[in-house]
Amino acid sequence: MSTRITTEDAIRASGNRALIGYLPVGFPDLETSIEAAVAIAEAGCTAIELGVPYSDPGMDGPVIQAATQSTLERGFRLDELFDAVAAITARTSAPVLVMTYWNPVLRHGVDRFAERLAAAGGAGLITPDLTPENAADWLAAAERHDLDRVFLAAPSSSDARIDRAIEASRGFVYTVSTMGTTGARTDVDDAARALADRIAARAAATGREALRCVGLGVSTGAQVRDVLDYADGAIVGSALVRALGAGGVPAVRELAASLAAGTLDRGPADAATTPVSSSTVSSGTVSSSPQKDASA
């Protein structure tokens, strides 16, 4: 059992150049999904986002939908999630955040879910269809069990809604890059940079800290590098899921390594003069390599 590091500390330890890899639990089977999560942590992911397959995944594009649907069709049960979190956290120190639509948590019991997640070594939850105004029960449970809660901010969010996401979030603010669903895109919208800047400005204006990790559409090392120009982390999902589906654990490990190359500094000359983008977070040490898990 490795010592647990908080999500915020892990992002800071990466020099605010975090790579967060998403994979659905149980895809293509439970064992492989655990191996894949460990592999991407070893290959340079700062944190793991483990998705819970759900019957009505409104925020997911075709690649993740197909993967989670096949997982449900083979009979996925929620208990597998807690087993997987325990198995992954036993083998890597990278924080494991669970991405879940809200009804499975509600059905399981919010506090019971939080308790089991914490017991398994999970870091917290990312909740795509639970906004802070509906999250009172979850925020209380997260407090009780010392779990991260990651809420979304979108290009369409008002300042007031961004303020609320910053206030309610712990871990980071999920910075939705583009108005759409998950899925690889050739260009990550300019909207992402604008939103990351707005979140930083709102955090500064309200005297809070906000780590901003950008997700939706990021699929290559070059895009990771672009995103890390202005954000504290890049989240990659569909590209990893596609690699896992097509080439298994070796393929997903290879892709994670090439994505992690995007977290490296651009070179000694740049590194000396390029400040960490966010002025509102305490800058960690700018490391010359991606954060490695203890076993790597």
Partner 1 sequence: MNAQADRGAPLREHRGPWFGGYGGVFMPEPLMAAIDELAACYEACKADPGFQAEFARLSRDYTGRPSMLTEATRLSEQAGARILLKREDLNHTGSHKINNVLGQALVAQRLGKTRLIAETGAGQHGVATATAAALFGMECVIYMGEVDTERQALNVARMRLLGADVVPVTSGSRTLKDAINEGLRDWVANVDSTHYLMGTVAGPHPFPEMVRDFHRAIGEEAREQTIALTGGLPDAVLACVGGGSNAMGIFHAFLDDADVRLIGLEAAGDGAGTERHALSIGRGEPGLLHGMRTYMLQDDDGQTLESHSISAGLDYPGVGPEHAWLHDIGRAEYEPVSDAEAMEAFLALTRAEGIIPAIESAHAVAGALRLAREQPGSTLLVSLSGRGDKDVATAGRWFDVLDEDARQQ
Contact flag: residue 106 with partner 1 (CB under 8 A): yes
x-or-dash string of contact with partner 1, 133-152, rule CB under 8 A: xx----------------xx
Extract the tokens encoding 214: 């950008």
As beta bridge partners, residue 26 has none
Nearest C-alpha neighbor of 237 from the set 54, 16, 62: 62
Contact flag: residue 87 with partner 1 (CB under 8 A): no
**How many chain residues bind partner 1 (CB under 8 A)?**
40
Phi-psi region of 171 (alpha: psi -120 to 50; beta: other; left: phi over 0): left
d(CA 49, CA 235): 9
d(CA 250, CA 36): 8
x-or-dash string of contact with partner 1, 230-269, rule CB under 8 A: ----------------------------------------
Q: Which is nearer to partner 1, 156 or 285 (CB)?
A: 156
d(CA 131, CA 134): 6
The binder of partner 1 chosen from 29, 90, 107, 229 (CB under 8 A): 107
Q: Which is nearer to partner 1, 146 or 159 (CB)?
A: 159
Q: Which residues of 45-78 are buried (b: 16+ CB within 10 A; e: fewer)?
A: bbbbbbbbbbeebebbbebbbebbbbbbeeebeb
DSSP 291: P
Q: Which is nearer to partner 1, 38 or 166 (CB)?
A: 166
Catalytic site positions: 49, 60
d(CA 190, CA 207): 26
The binder of partner 1 chosen from 128, 233, 237, 284 (CB under 8 A): 128
Contact flag: residue 130 with partner 1 (CB under 8 A): yes
At 235, phi and psi to the nearest 5? -110, 125
Extract the tokens encoding 201: 């400005």
| DSSP E strand boundaries for the chain | 18-24, 47-51, 96-99, 124-126, 148-150, 152-153, 173-176, 212-215, 233-236
Q: Smallest distance from the beta carbon of 184 to partner 1, in angstroms?
A: 15
Q: Which is nearer to partner 1, 73 or 270 (CB)?
A: 73
Q: Smallest distance from the beta carbon of 120 to partner 1, in angstroms?
A: 16
x-or-dash string of contact with partner 1, 16-55, rule CB under 8 A: --------------------------------------xx
Q: Which is nearer to partner 1, 175 or 223 (CB)?
A: 175
Q: Which is nearer to partner 1, 128 or 262 (CB)?
A: 128
The binder of partner 1 chosen from 14, 46, 65, 220 (CB under 8 A): 65
What does the binding site for partner 1 look like in residue numbers (CB under 8 A)? Answer: 54-59, 61, 65, 69, 72, 77-78, 101-108, 128-131, 133-134, 151-158, 161, 165, 176, 179-181
